Structure 1
Amino acid sequence: MPSRFMHPRPSSIVAALYTARDLEVDVAILHGPSGCSFKHARLLEEDGMRVLTTALADNEFIFGGQKALEGVLRYAGEQFAPKRMAVIGTCVSMIIGEDLEAAIDSAGIATPTIAVDIHAGFTENIAGVLATLEAAAEAGWISADELARQHRLMEKANEVEKLRGAASREYLEPSRGDLKHLAAERLIACARSGSKGVAVLNAKKETAYMFADELIALHDTCPDADITYLVNLDNRGLPKVRADAERIREEMERRGVRFELIGALDEYGANGDALGARIREIAPSFALIAGVPHAIPPEYTDGIECFSVTNGPRQVAPLKAIGHQHVLVEIDLHPRTLGVRDIVESEFGAVIRSLAR
């Protein structure tokens, strides 16, 4: 496994922002330059969380920005009346040694607010997740048991990425994957041949709003096929994660898909062996796996014709390397699943439906 990556990797600052969102934080304040994590901050605002910035300029890089942070905290409290806020650190606030807690205390606000000391220099982006959760546990927002559970899940997710994911090589060439219409034709042929199949949703949090559509599309097109549906939509996790799982479960049921629950939306990295064991029991000849297919160790899919759907262009090569014959990429999936409350049609799902005869 590489010690240094030469392709872009997720940021721990962004991970902290998303974790604040999952904790139902109403306003997150990035203490740094206005351009820090700009794209994701804008996307998260579409998901209902306001993201403000202290917009530190070069003179504040030298003399400090505590007064600026106090002012933004007071503005947020007065303007938005939030129930919860989070101050997220950046590389700048770390380098100049800003005391985020002191600024919160000095601002004189009544809103429960956590301080997350984080920067983008960590090798693993899960540092941002854990820093946010540790601050939340200290504030009493989550239990000690949930914090310990999240630590285990992050360690497993990290392990999967290092073994079979985008952290498994120094450089991974991005790819759009296989042609969707050819894979869809083959998938439908397998389903209609009478062969036994399995369709797996093992998605990360809100991405399930689109990955679930691939399973629905297969069911819509081949409703009588011998396919067992397995989904990671159990009722565990942080508040938003549980709410998303409930909505997706209910919509899949309304649309006629009967499924088995294996794992929760935040357990995608730790879910591989449980899914693999169930796949081994079913003994299918083909499998559709949507979300994080590489979480399932390859010994469970050996000999099975796999149709794997990911939203990571750099995940194509690692999936091919472990024997997945058909690898499809849903480009721009994440921006299209932020802020939604209903299942979103996927490109591969649309192609499957277009081939129904």
Structure 2
Amino acid sequence: MHYIQPRPSSIVAALYTARDLGVDVAVLHGPSGCSFKHARLLEEDGMRVLTTSLADNEFIFGGQEALERVLRYAEENFSPHRIAVVGTCVAMIIGEDLPSAIRDSGITTPAIAIDIHAGYRENIEGVIATLEPAAAAGWISEDELARQRHLLAKANEVERLRGAACKTYIEPSRGDLKHVAAGRLLELARSGARGVAIMNAKKETAYMFADELVALHDACPEADVTYIANLEDRGLPKVREDGARILAGMQGRGVDPELLGALDEYGANGTAIGERLRALSPDYALIVGVPHAVPPEYTEGIEVISITNGPRQVEPLRDIGHAHVVVEVDLHPKTLGVREIVESEFGAVLRSLV
């Protein structure tokens, strides 16, 4: 499909994947403004992001010396555990040899070169471009690389079928008013109807999406609700650590969910969630995180309240029959760098109605 709306960047995807691999210093080989917003956000998450700050002179004569200098600076000043050199459009156009720069810099820190640019239609190219050298360096196994390829393909498929990439252009929306959706959820939970509360969240966003399940339990602890969360122990190092923390946080608040899928399996988890829904046969469902992963044939006849963090996801969710769609605005920046569950706006509203 040809999109005429902004889509995620493959360079940014490479940065986030490097973080998940335990990289503590990433060097963007390009102009100082490249991926500025996400670089700053990732620094909030504990990964230092440096830049070679290439300018017009280097665009002509090359920037390998600058890259070698920044690599030595990173090693001397930050004593990193792992380094990733991340390419940009400029580095690609002028033909920079990133592996050669790593070798010639003389650093001894384990480092990988990620040859990537922003000229891909799908941002998963940035993830693959990071995982392949990581596997070659022994940071992950070949089995994990194959697993990640499968998960990326499934996540892409979901976005194309029912997500923000299912149409050429989707009007952004803030969705339903939170107090209206929360009021309906309370009404259903208090009525004695059978409910299911499902978290199928992407990686660190689960630090906030988990709160919405906890908030429902806080508001209606005696309600007939089955709680399900994708917190199984699989994935890249940070993903597994986040899953363990979030699960412990939920259990500490009185919610001990059934585990179905891992935090990086949100795109591949839809059919398994659907089959569980079929088995439980609930009257209503709260689905948070990536609710569009669940094929609509599994939610027919169920009143669905879904919560996403994508304003362009509201229309597709309504199209597949979700009765109420809520958006957690600016969720991702609020979950970077945290190590415990963060209160969500929907959760706060739900608690305030009790």
* Superposition TM-score, scaled by structure 1 size: 0.99
SS of the residue aligned with 1:132?
A: helix
Cα distance in 1 between the residues matched to 2:5 and 2:171: 8
Identity of aligned residues (%): 73
Residue of structure 2 aligned with 1:53, choices 44, 51, 54: 51
Instruction: Show the counterpart of 2:122.
Output: 124
Instruction: Show the counterpart of 1:225.
Output: 223
Deviation string, structure 1 residues 243-278 (Cα, Å, up to 9, x no partner): 000000001001001210000000000000001000
Instruction: Show the counterpart of 2:301.
Output: 303
SS of the residue aligned with 1:52?
A: strand
Instruction: Show the counterpart of 1:280.
Output: 278
Cα distance in 2 between the residues matched to 1:251 and 1:60: 49
Cα distance in 2 between the residues matched to 1:92 and 1:324: 43
Deviation string, structure 1 residues 78-118 (Cα, Å, up to 9, x no partner): 00000100000000000000000000000000000000000
Amino acid in structure 2 at the alignment position of 1:96: I
Amino acid in structure 2 at the alignment position of 1:224: E
Cα distance in 1 between the residues matched to 2:28 and 2:52: 6
Cα deviation, residue 284, structure 1: 0.4
Cα distance in 1 between the residues matched to 2:271 and 2:200: 12
Instruction: Show the counterpart of 1:315.
Output: 313
Instruction: Show the counterpart of 2:188.
Output: 190
Cα deviation, residue 59, structure 1: 1.2
- Structure 2's unaligned 5+ residue stretches are none
Cα distance in 1 between the residues matched to 2:125 and 2:65: 27
Cα distance in 2 between the residues matched to 1:350 and 1:33: 41
Cα distance in 2 between the residues matched to 1:135 and 1:193: 54
Instruction: Describe how 1:75-94 pairs up with structure 2 within 5 A.
Output: 75-94=73-92
Instruction: Show the counterpart of 1:270.
Output: 268
Cα distance in 2 between the residues matched to 1:251 and 1:348: 18
Cα distance in 2 between the residues matched to 1:109 and 1:258: 46
Residue 324 (1) aligns with residue 316 (2) = no
Instruction: Show the counterpart of 2:37.
Output: 39
Residue 335 (1) aligns with residue 333 (2) = yes
Cα distance in 2 between the residues matched to 1:9 and 1:229: 32
Instruction: Describe how 1:1-357 pairs up with structure 2 within 5 A.
Output: 3-356=1-354
Cα deviation, residue 23, structure 1: 0.3
Cα distance in 2 between the residues matched to 1:73 and 1:255: 44
Cα distance in 2 between the residues matched to 1:135 and 1:161: 26
Which consecutive segments of 4 or more residues in structure 1 shift more than 2 A?
none
Cα distance in 2 between the residues matched to 1:4 and 1:193: 46
Cα distance in 1 between the residues matched to 2:202 and 2:257: 18
Cα distance in 2 between the residues matched to 1:268 and 1:41: 24
Q: Name the count of aligned residue pairs.
A: 354
SS of the residue aligned with 1:276?
A: helix
Cα distance in 1 between the residues matched to 2:142 and 2:174: 41
Amino acid in structure 1 at the alignment position of 2:311: P
Amino acid in structure 2 at the alignment position of 1:122: Y
Cα distance in 2 between the residues matched to 1:291 and 1:49: 24
Amino acid in structure 1 at the alignment position of 2:44: E
Amino acid in structure 1 at the alignment position of 2:290: V
Deviation string, structure 1 residues 268-295 (Cα, Å, up to 9, x no partner): 0000000100011000010000100000
Deviation string, structure 1 residues 124-150 (Cα, Å, up to 9, x no partner): 000000110001000000000000000
SS of the residue aligned with 1:215?
A: helix
Deviation string, structure 1 residues 293-315 (Cα, Å, up to 9, x no partner): 00000000011111100000000
Amino acid in structure 2 at the alignment position of 1:186: R
SS of the residue aligned with 1:120?
A: coil
SS of the residue aligned with 1:336?
A: helix
Cα distance in 1 between the residues matched to 2:182 and 2:139: 45
Amino acid in structure 2 at the alignment position of 1:105: R
Deviation string, structure 1 residues 17-36 (Cα, Å, up to 9, x no partner): 00000001010000000000
Cα distance in 2 between the residues matched to 1:59 and 1:67: 12
Cα distance in 1 between the residues matched to 2:99 and 2:14: 16
Cα distance in 2 between the residues matched to 1:268 and 1:312: 15
SS of the residue aligned with 1:70?
A: helix
Deviation string, structure 1 residues 189-231 (Cα, Å, up to 9, x no partner): 0001000000000000000000000000000000011000010
SS of the residue aligned with 2:186?
A: helix
